[in-house]
Amino acid sequence: MPRVLVSDKLSPTAVQIFKDRGVEVDYLPELGKDKEALLAAIGQYDGLAIRSATKVTEKLIAAADNLKVVGRAGIGVDNVDIPAASRRGIIVMNTPFGNSITTAEHAVALMFAVARQIPEANASTHAGKWEKNRFMGVEITGKTLGVIGCGNIGSIVAMRGVGLKMHVVAFDPFLSEARASELGVEKVELEELFARADFISLHTPLTDRTRNIISAEAIATMKDGVRIINCARGGLIDEKALVAGLKSGKVAGAGIDVFEVEPATENELFDMPNVVCTPHLGASTSEAQENVAIQIAEQMSDYLVKGAVSNAINMPSITAEEAPRLKPFIKLAEVLGTFVGQVTEEAMQEVEILFDGATAAMNTRALVSATLAGLIRPQVADVNMVSAPIMAKERGIILSEVKRDKSGVFDGYIRLTVKTANRTRTIAGTCFSDGKPRFIQIKGINLDAEVGEHMLYTTNPDAPGIIGLLGSICGKNDVNIANFQLGRNRPGGDAIALLYLDAPFPPDVLEELRANPKIDSAKPLRFDIGN
């Protein structure tokens, strides 16, 4: 039974979901604050469920010998070392949809609060003052709202803006014209958004590209009296530049829920006129907290029990519905990669994966990851579907993926082509109704061969006596051949043989075989056929 540690506070409902789905769970919500205790305990667990308090560092990941998945109840995964997790093959999941409405509503609330100076007016009135003329606001209706990042949360803010009779302009490199039209917004470049917007609301992740996207230079290009809202991530705004803009009057107000340094107990933005600050409350509603807790429990359970992957940061998603159908082809892709990885001794330069027929309609991202894992595993034993794409990229491998309609007798198959500096290798395979992977083409030679745990692959000119040669060398050295498959491209052309063995092929016998002039090459193969 898989075992999960919950090291931050989650709802009792979420904890019960783990139990109901066959996962053993330890609920220790204070453990995330104790680095040493967490470090000592983490090796026992298959899964770790967290919020923001637990820091999943490289040191913690190194101690997590059994860890398969980290689940973050929320959107942000700043507290997880994703590259370190990926290198160890640990899936990192979040819940990008559970608090989307809550965060969007908070952004809109801050926009109203800044437009009408509500917090300052409230404090003044509570103090017994009646400063009606001091708090002159601006209307929302008819103003231009600039939304930077039009994903889950940004699109909700955009729709709310349209509902408030604002003109909404949006910048997002991934926003299509069709989606913009559906939302009722105008897609623009960032420079145009800065120049036109009366209100700017940020809804983009913090990356090297987006860090300080609101800079002194950006503020200089904005309209006088612009109001800026950030409920996304601290670091998107250069806070010193914002302070300067507020002091100069270029920026009329700001609503800030996230800060460069959190917890933010001291900040120059505090106590500035018409700056509304909240302590990272974007996702802080009872509904959102419950939603993300339940979602992460369901996602982690589905992965640990069924192999389904959803909302993963570093792994292609695999739904619970497609997992049973996809599983045999993931195994096939891995086997094809393992074959080529074992027979290739030179550095791989290019990898092409062709999906023909039914396989082209499958989740090919998962199949590509499985193929790469198989390719790299002969050199790096602990590689898996999470870490393989990263390792391939680090090695400078050029990867291409091709999809095409059914072109042969098989409903669907996968063909792998790997190029090195001196040669090109190809192999293709499919799965029959029994779900077992089969080789259907090697080196351009058609055949129908099962996958065995221990095999020997040989290449040779098509000439009489090869079968006898293989049999005699194996026989005199007590190597039992359980089965074999042969193939050739034409009479007298190139031929291959696959020998199925009861145990690994002995190294000394392999050397004897390779020394024979009738054998071009001989490669021992081993496949994990247990699952």
Active site residues: 233, 262, 280
Residues in contact with 91: Cβ distance below 8 Å, sequence separation at least 6, in sequence order = 68, 69, 70, 85, 303, 309, 312, 314, 315, 386
**What does the alpha-carbon distance between residue 348 and residue 363 come to, in Å, rounded to a whole number?**
25
**What does the alpha-carbon distance between residue 108 and residue 106 come to, in Å, rounded to a whole number?**
5
Amino acid identity at 342: Q
SS3 350: strand
Matching residue, tokens 């098989």 = 410
Matching residue, tokens 């398969």 = 68
Give the total residue count for the chain.
531
Classify each residue of 282-309 as buried b or exposed e, where b means 16 or more C-beta atoms within 10 Å of its C-beta.
bbebeebbbbbbbbbbbbbbbbbebebb
DSSP letters along 448-463, please? EEE--SEEEEEEEES-
**What does the alpha-carbon distance between residue 226 and residue 249 come to, in Å, rounded to a whole number?**
9
**What does the alpha-carbon distance between residue 494 and residue 513 come to, in Å, rounded to a whole number?**
18
Q: From the CB of residue 227, how many other CB atoms can be counted at a distance below 10 Å? A: 23
Beta-strand (E) ranges in 267-390?
275-277, 350-357
- What are the backbone angles phi and psi of residue 195, rounded to the nearest 5°? -75, -25
SS3 523: strand
Q: What is the CA radius of gyration of the chain?
A: 30
Burial of 128 (0-12, 13-18, 19+ CB in 10 A): exposed
- Asked if 152 contacts 97 with a C-beta cutoff of 8 angstroms, the reply is yes
Matching residue, tokens 């003109």 = 167
- Asked if 204 contacts 107 with a C-beta cutoff of 8 angstroms, the reply is no
Closest to 15 in 3D by CA, of 73, 76, 86, 55: 73
The pairing of strands 412-419 and 424-431 is antiparallel
- Asked if 69 contacts 44 with a C-beta cutoff of 8 angstroms, the reply is no
- Asked if 430 contacts 412 with a C-beta cutoff of 8 angstroms, the reply is yes
Q: What are the Cα distances from residue 221, in Å, to 190, 228, 229, 250? A: 11, 14, 17, 10
**What does the alpha-carbon distance between residue 24 and residue 66 come to, in Å, rounded to a whole number?**
14
